[in-house]
Amino acid sequence: MLYADARCDRPFFWWSLPLAVGLANAGAVAHLKARHAAGDCFTRRAAGRAYLGMAVPVNMLLALLLAWRSGILSDIAPPIAATPASATALVLVVALLFALASHALTSLVLPWLTLASAANLRSR
Domain residue ranges of the chain, discontinuous segments joined by + = 15-117
State the Cα–Cα distance between residues 113 and 5, nearest whole angstrom: 46
State the pLDDT at residue 63. Answer: 93
- Kindly indicate the confidence band of residue 39, based on its pLDDT and cuts at 50, 70 and 90: confident
SS3 for 6? helix
First-last CA distance in the chain: 60
State the pLDDT at residue 77. Answer: 77
Using CA atoms, how far residue 46 sits from 16, 80, 97, 107, 110, in Å, is 30, 38, 21, 10, 12
State the pLDDT at residue 1. Answer: 47
pTM given for the model: 0.79
The answer to whether residues 61 and 95 touch, using CB atoms and an 8 Å cutoff, is: no
Task: Compute the Cα dihedral for 9, 11, 12, 14 and give only its sign.
Answer: positive
Pick the residue with more confidence: 44 or 58? 58
State the pLDDT at residue 122. Answer: 58
Q: Which amino acid is at 45?
A: R
Mean pLDDT of the chain: 83
State the pLDDT at residue 97. Answer: 94
